[in-house]
Structure 1
Amino acid sequence: MGLTAAEAEMYRLLIVAEAASAEEIAGRSNLGVPAARRLLLALEDKGLASAVEDSPDWYSAIPPETALVPRLQRQSDALEQTRAAVHDLVETYRRSAQAWSGCDAIEIISGAAALRQHLRQLQDGARHEMLWFVKARFLAMPPESNQEEYDALSRGVLYRALYEQEYFDDPGAVDNVVAGVRVGEISRAVPRLPLRMAIADRSVAVLPLNSADAPGALAASRRRWCGGAACWTRSSTCSSTTGRSVPRCG
């Protein structure tokens, strides 16, 4: 709403008091008189308080339905316009992006920096679950720099990770896994993993297009994954990389 935390608290105090001076506000809070006076003047500038007639240095709160509700509606309208604009951009991107193998469910990610950004956005957008296949020798994102995992865990996203045994030979790998487990990550180790992979909410996945794990050749599928193939399941079957039909994935 355009208010600082201190201004919002001052507005609440002024609503409860109906009218107050800086001295009275200071007596009801841990603010000094000069700070209370600056906040009252800030509220007046923002249209949330007005000076009391015939009472110098006293202010009363402008009712929320007058001061805040119209502002909230304007912001809501602006948000809807922004949402519509973003939707148009998404559709434009989908129409113009080059699809892999003629499938618009695939996006090619080229370069370590782009891959790192996609992995961060993947985690930021996760609402329920993140699944990982973690191999040794990271390509784009050092494990210790993955703050997005901690942010997602703190908002209730479930993290489940399979670590290849060789991963634990990397410097600091054990400490990174322990740190994740302490905040809620569910981790397991296996002798070997076939590929690197990250899946968000079982709907978006990032994995390499080749067995070399080259950072310049990775794909993100926006639907489901069937075995080793990236696919968009339009019906009960989809095509694998071998050209055969495979069952719908769960």
Structure 2
Amino acid sequence: MLEVAGLSAVEERTYRLLVAAVEADVSHLGDLLGMDVTDVEETLRSMRDKGLVRLVAPEGRRYAPVPPEIALGASLLRQRQSLDRARMFVDQLSAEYRGNIRRFDSRELVELVPTRDAIRERLIYLQDNARDEVVCFCRVGPVVLTAQENDAEPAALARGVSYRVIYERAHLEEPGMQSNVAYGIKLGEQARAVPHLPVRITVVDREVALLPLIQDSGVAEPTAALIRDSTLLDAILALFGAYWARAIPLRVLDDGALSMEAMPPLDSDDLFLLSLLVTGVPDKSIASQLGISQRTVQRRISHIMEAAGVQTRMQLAWHAAREQWL
């Protein structure tokens, strides 16, 4: 076991005996090891050179072990540092190799995953090894893994991985889906919804995407493509970003139910404020017409923007028009 620290098998046995005995003479060690005294002395000299033992009674040729944290700690630290440097070098070589081979072999960019079981295993594996973020398109009629079966997501969320998921509305109407999505949101998932999604997608760490190639969940054996870092992956990420920007945020109500509305219903004052805002009326004039302070106007606008899931007033106006609030 201690060969990683530079000990031979005989040296490890001798060191373990000394640790158990605290100290021992050469003759006694020879008896315990079943070795000739001359061979024991040679082993102990080697161990002294490595800083593993010390001579405590020269006349009696008695030896004691150097404490393990001193004798072995520094050596193991050096070994670990060497391994870390070697691992970094291997990672660099691997990245260089992948970058070069992709120019010659398209299979390094797109790998076919030919069966339902293989797709399922790869989907779970990707989530289990995610470091930063997972983004998904969840269409109606899952091919290999339902949301309820996806135990990898709660575990990933627990270790700090971000999830952004866009659900097709018809998928949210399936039995048990709304409570499942609400549970995911409580764990930290960012969820949005759109009327329709073009494909199913899972992208992990912006490095690899899993894309089923056949949409019909009733086929005997679906096939998926595993797409690695490439302009094709860039296009998939751009598609996700475009849908995410226009999707409606999902939230969990106080009673635990899932809300699929873009925001809570606006009262008449908020609708009036919004109508003035989108027609370009300044905040000061809005405050005057509503009989409130300009600061209150700005606070109410910020609240509406936050509920609508937008960042700017221009986005709020576009969102209000799309949702036919006015």
Same fold, TM-score > 0.5, yes or no: yes
Say if 2:226 is the partner of 1:217: no
Written as runs of structure 1 = structure 2, the 5 A alignment for 1:14-33 is none
Aligned residues: 180
Alignment-derived partner of residue 190 in structure 1: 194
Instruction: For residue 110 of structure 1, report the CA deviation from its aligned partner.
Output: 0.9
Asked if 2 retains the 8 angstrom alpha-carbon contact of 1:137 and 1:170, the reply is no
Q: Which sections of structure 1, spanning at least 5 residues, go unmatched?
A: 3-43, 55-59, 230-250
Q: Counterpart in 2 of 1:64?
A: 69
TM-score by length of 2: 0.44
Q: What secondary structure, in the 3-state scheme, does the structure 2 residue paired with 1:198 have?
A: strand
* Structure-to-structure mapping, 1:44-193, within 5 angstroms: 50-52=20-22, 62-74=67-79, 80=86, 84=90, 102=106, 104-193=108-197
Q: Post-superposition shift, 1:78?
A: 6.4
Q: Distance between the aligned counterparts of 1:155 and 1:128, measured in 2?
A: 10
Q: Which runs of 4+ in 1 moved over 6 A?
A: none
Q: Once the 2 structures are TM-superposed, how far is the Cα of residue 163 of structure 1 from its aligned partner?
A: 0.8
**Equivalent residue of 1:226, what SS?**
helix
Which has a greater percent of helix? Answer: 2
Residue identity opposite 1:217 in structure 2? T
Distance 1:172 1:84 in 2: 46
TM-score, normalised relative to structure 1: 0.56
Relative to structure 1, the CA distance from residue 76 to residue 208 in structure 2 (aligned partners, 3 Å threshold; closer, same or farther) is same
Q: CA RMSD in A?
A: 4.2
Give, in whole Å, the separation in 2 of the partners of 1:109 and 1:204.
Answer: 13
Aligned CA distance change for structure 1 residues 108 and 46 (closer, same or farther; 3 Å): farther
> How many percent of aligned residue pairs carry the same amino acid?
30
3-state SS of the aligned residue for 1:159?
A: strand
Higher strand share: 1
Cα shift at 1:164: 1.0
Residues 1:113 and 1:181: Cα distance change in structure 2 (over 3 Å): same
CA distance, structure 2, for counterparts of residue 46 and residue 148 of structure 1: 47
Asked which structure has the greater CA Rg, the reply is: 2
Asked if structure 2 preserves the Cα contact closer than 8 Å seen for 1:168 and 1:174, the reply is yes
Letter of the 1:107 partner, please give it: E
**3-state SS in 1 of match to 2:108:** coil
Inter-CA distance 201–208: structure 2 relative to 1 (3 Å threshold)? same
Which has the higher relative contact order, 1 or 2, with Cα contacts under 8 A spaced 6 or more apart? 1
CA distance in 2, matches of 1:205, 1:226: 11
Please give the alpha-carbon distance, in whole angstroms, between the structure 2 residues aligned to 1:162 and 1:46. 63
Residue matched to 2:235: 226
2: distance between equivalents of 1:107 and 1:84?
23
In the alignment, is the contact (CA less than 8 A) between 2:130 and 2:156 conserved in 1? yes
Partner residue, 1:12: none
The equivalent of 1:201 in structure 2 is 205
Distance in 2, Cα, partners of 1:109 & 1:76: 38
